[in-house]
Amino acid sequence: MKTQYYLLFLLLFSCMQQQGEQASDIFPKDGQWIDLSYEFSPETLYWPAEPQGFHMDTISEGITEGGYYYSAFSFCAPEHGGTHLDAPIHFAEGQKSVEELTLEELTGSAVVVDVSQKAMQDRDYLISKEDIEGWEEENGKLPEDIILLIRTGYGQYYPNAKQYFGTELKGEEGVANLHFPGLGGDAAAWLAKERKIKAVGIDTPSIDYGQSKDFRAHQELMKKNIPAFENVANLDQLPTKGIYVVALPMKIKGGSGAPLRIIARVPVEQ
């Protein structure tokens, strides 16, 4: 009996050691955290058609009758604005809403595909299958269950609406004048069919480009239950690979989207 317990102990110890080594490979102990989220405030950018943006009211602020300081606020904001998540139900009926996305789907290894050299020359640039295949030629095939982050370079303009959106106009006129890069519909369909990805994030207001009328990139990804992260910050601070992302939205039941706090763990340069 003692021998059996001893063998069981060795087996458990070996499994724990292997798990620790695997976690160390994915989640470098000597890494640093990079915040990929913009703060929410009256400056937060929302789609031009949204009737209102972020609004915060003061419920209480100051010294109480008891002699101690106390503050409390309430806020109101649309689901889609600032750094936020698009749940699959946003463009695919019957697919997952915000609270139905699992932690496994919102966390994991990530890579950055940098198309900024092309996108900065064309505000209506469509990221293509060839762009992603070009990345794969240099870095190898996209790993399975990867979070794909696309850097267009337009994050440098946030929160300047004219430079970031391509227009300061509001309402339908503003929507008609949106000009920023996005993921092409064919590329999105190829990713959803030929590559096993967890999510797509981008440093623009939408994974579809500004002039899109059918939002095909959204449709192709979300009918496969692939969520999107939009208005992602600081992608210029990330390496191409070796990234671990945690993207946790406000857990809104039935939500088509939600404010997102997204962070990345990256290795420290030696």
Question: Can you give the C-alpha Rg of the chain in angstroms?
Answer: 21
Q: Whole-angstrom distance between the N-terminal and C-terminal Cα of the chain?
A: 50
Over the stretch 42-52, which tens digit does the pLDDT of each residue have? 999 999 999 89
User: Shortest CA distance to 147 belongs to which of 85, 79, 208?
Assistant: 85
On whether the CB atoms of residues 147 and 198 are closer than 8 A, the answer is yes
**Does residue 2 lie in a domain region?**
no
pLDDT value at position 25? Answer: 52
CA distance 99 to 229: 15
DSSP 26: H
Is there a domain that residue 255 lies in? yes
Please compute, for residue 118, the number of CA atoms within 13 A of its CA located in the half-sphere on the CB side: 15
| Confidence band, pLDDT 50/70/90 cuts, at residue 21 | very low
| 222 lies in some domain | yes
Domain that holds residue 111: 30-37+79-267
State the CATH number of the domain containing residue 194: 3.50.30.50
Assigned domain for 215 exists: yes
Tell the residue number behind the tokens 């590559």, with chain if given. Answer: 195
Cα torsion 81, 85, 88, 93: sign: negative
Q: What's the full length of the chain, in residues?
A: 270
230: Cα separation from own chain's centroid: 6
Do the domain assignments include residue 70? no
Residue 49 is assigned to a structural domain of this protein:
no
| Local confidence band at 14 (pLDDT 50, 70, 90 cut-offs) | low
- Number of domains making up the chain: 1
Q: Please list, in sequence order, all residues whose beta carbon lies within 8 angstroms of the beta carbon of residue 49, skipping any fewer than 6 positions away.
A: 170, 171, 172, 174, 175
- 103-128: pLDDT as tens digits: 999 999 999 999 999 999 999 999 99
Q: Which residues contact 209 (CB under 8 A, 6 or more apart)?
A: 124, 125, 126, 180, 181, 182, 183, 184
pTM of the model: 0.89
Q: Which tokens is 27 given?
A: 């989640």
